Amino acid sequence: MDRMVSMIRDLMQEHTPDQKLGAVVVGAPGPLDSETGLIYEAPNLKWKQVPLREVLQEALQVPVWVDNDANLAALGEYTYGYPLEFEVLLYLTVSTGIGGGIITNGEIYRGIDGGAGEFGHMTILPRGPVCGCGNYGCLEALASGTAIARVAREEVSQGHLRALGESVKGRLADIDARLVAEFAAKGDPEAARIMEEAMGYLGIGVANLVNLFNPRAIVIGGGLSGYPGLLDRVRQVVKDRAYSSLSRNLKILPARLGNKAGLMGCRALAEIKLKSQN
């Protein structure tokens, strides 16, 4: 947190030495309370019950808001990626994990406890692989980069995926989803099958979202979203599985802001908050 404060101060010095900073918005991993800016738990940072908003506000003496990073990415794509084109938009990020955000009528939908949009943790296979959240067969455990790497490691250790295994000289820890995607793109049939299976599960997850939310658009971003054919595969599964009356006017689209989606969402939220204060 000290580092965040000093970085913000450095940026202010560098870019706006003569102006007063209007607000700071932080995209943080959840679960958190966006009203109070309290982070309940952030396992990757080993944080528990951290009052991030309070601490930053005191140090910087400007209004601070804290929200879930995937929610902010959704708001970013809604506001700047596809500027206000879709009144009900779902955002899905597929990288090492799978996160999501829900925009309805131009606002982030957070649910009662602020945790809505955890698309990665819908159960797809009841007896599937264990997920980071402790459940079994979550979408994230089947279709994320981590899941793809896990399947590839299992296959290599069983003597399959020979070429890929040789390329890392048997070091299983060096296998990641990017490598599997690379081999699949080069025409390795086993790697392609792993990618195909993951995309199929992703499609099932998205089809569930279509039936649940009947959105106008589903925007898919994250490191894996650029894999060739991913969007078409998801579109096909949605066509096969979701209610056709709900998917007829649906657009499944690539994220336009890349890894700036969260940042642009912070800007959008700052504007909304400051406007509502005036």
Which positions touch Zn ion (CB under 5 A)? 121, 131, 133, 135, 138
| Nearer Cβ to Zn ion (139/217) | 139
The string of DSSP letters for 122-183 reads SBS-TTS-B-TTS-BSBHHHHHSHHHHHHHHHHHHHTT-SHHHHHHTTT-GGG--HHHHHHH
| Nearer Cβ to Zn ion (131/148) | 131
Q: Residue 180 Cβ, how far from Zn ion at the closest point, in Å?
A: 21
| Nearer Cβ to Zn ion (148/269) | 148
Contacts of 270 (CB under 8 A, 6+ apart): 22, 23, 24, 25, 65
Q: Residue 137 Cβ, how far from Zn ion at the closest point, in Å?
A: 8
Q: Residue 246 Cβ, how far from Zn ion at the closest point, in Å?
A: 25
| Nearer Cβ to Zn ion (135/167) | 135
Q: Residue 210 Cβ, how far from Zn ion at the closest point, in Å?
A: 20
Phi, psi of 257 (to 5 degrees): -100, 0
- The C-alpha atoms of residue 242 and residue 258 are separated, in whole angstroms, by 27
Q: Residue 139 Cβ, how far from Zn ion at the closest point, in Å?
A: 8
| Nearer Cβ to Zn ion (96/247) | 96
Tell me the CA distances in angstroms from 147 to 22, 128, 184, 212, one per residue in order.
41, 11, 16, 25
Collapsing DSSP to helix, strand or coil, 240 comes out as: helix
